[in-house]
Amino acid sequence: MPVNRNALIRYRTIDKCLQNRRRKWTIEDLIDACNQALFEYEGIEKGVSLRTIRLDLRAMRSEQLGYQAPIIVTDKKYYSYEDSDYSIANIPLSSQDLGILQEVTLLLKQFKGFTHFNGVNEMVNKLEDKIYSEQNQKASVIDFEKNELLKGIEWLDIIYKAIITQTTLSISYQSFKARDASEIILHPYLLKEYRNRWFVLGMKKKGKEILTLALDRIIEINLLHKELYVEPKNFNAQDYFQPIIGVTRNVGAEPETIVFKADFRQAPYIKTKPIHPSQQVLKEEKGWTEFSIQVIPNFELERELLGYAEGLKNNFSKLLSDD
């Protein structure tokens, strides 16, 4: 049964509500949640009807969507899942779904090897692994890096939507150094992941420099639909990140040539996994390999180099930040 986008948003919203067992959900609560989701994602202000949500619940319970959701009603008014671990996102793929995935995988494979589509390789591997595990009913044979306890990922969707719809955000933010949270009016431009941690880059209201905020330090986000969104001027993500490691770019700083030596234990790792694309081997002698990189010094570079401990020699004084 084909499902339109608005219906899918409602199903996923209801599913998210029913997974939250810390509160009781009446059908009015589900209507409110769906209305809010449709407004945030689609800008739809017209509210859904009681009849629509009742039909949604019936459809989720049935086999027509493949969900067969174990939705129960307690005290004649509170909705929840009988199985606390259930989610419509966890249902197995149908044979039709698998066929489509295989076709998509074959299509994506055509891009492997092209430098413009380097990110496709991991996507293809994930799809192939998913198809294998579903078809054979066996555990996945590829284990991708993940962190189930990662904080801040709940903000990814709202920030992503704000970027593509050019919506200004009001962010309650508390850095590691701050005692209390502060409000930041942000024009968001880019989401960036670094070492399994997410960041948003944007411009503060009346600001002049790009600001980087860690999603795991965000307390609350509100959409400011009536606040003028300021588009980025001369901001190119590739150019912005090219001279740095990580996500922090010190205002006004210029790239420097950083030279360091690694012993025979650490050098092979640094050769096979360069610290930065500009990395070069200068010379090798007496069990040490001398490298150079052309970067703007920042906290992430410091952490990267210090991570090699006694296996690396460098004058760190020029790298250490004031933080």
Burial bucket for residue 152 (CB in 10 Å: 0-12, 13-18, 19+):
middle
| Per-residue pLDDT reduced to its tens digit, 243-256 | 999 999 988 889 99
Residue 224 belongs to what H/E stretch? Answer: strand 218-224
Q: What percent of the chain has pLDDT over 70?
A: 78
Please state, in angstroms and rounded to a whole number, the distance separating the CA atoms of residues 226 and 228: 6
Average pLDDT of span 127-133: 64
- Looking at residue 320, what is its pLDDT? 40
pLDDT-based confidence at residue 317 (cuts at 50, 70, 90)? very low
- Looking at residue 293, what is its pLDDT? 95
pTM as predicted:
0.58
- Looking at residue 212, what is its pLDDT? 94
pLDDT at 193 over 80: yes
Token pair of 189 as six digits: 């431009």
Handedness of CA 259, 261, 262, 268 (dihedral sign): positive
Of 148-162, 208-222, 294-308, give the range with the top mean pLDDT: 208-222
pLDDT-based confidence at residue 163 (cuts at 50, 70, 90)? very high
Average pLDDT of span 10-31: 92
Taking CA atoms, 168 is separated from 161, 183, 205, 216, in Å, by 11, 13, 9, 19
| Per-residue pLDDT reduced to its tens digit, 268-307 | 999 999 999 999 999 998 889 999 999 999 989 988 888 8
Average pLDDT of span 24-36: 94
**Phi-psi group of 227: left, alpha or beta (phi > 0 → left; psi -120 to 50 → alpha; rest → beta):** beta
Contact between 26 and 10 (Cβ < 8 Å): no
pLDDT at 218 over 80: yes
Q: What is the mean pLDDT of the chain?
A: 83
Handedness of CA 228, 210, 247, 292 (dihedral sign): positive
Contact between 298 and 321 (Cβ < 8 Å): yes
- Looking at residue 151, what is its pLDDT? 81
pLDDT at 316 over 50: no
pLDDT at 172 over 70: yes
Average pLDDT of span 106-133: 62
Of 127 and 243, which is predicted with more confidence?
Answer: 243
pLDDT-based confidence at residue 22 (cuts at 50, 70, 90)? confident
- Looking at residue 32, what is its pLDDT? 93
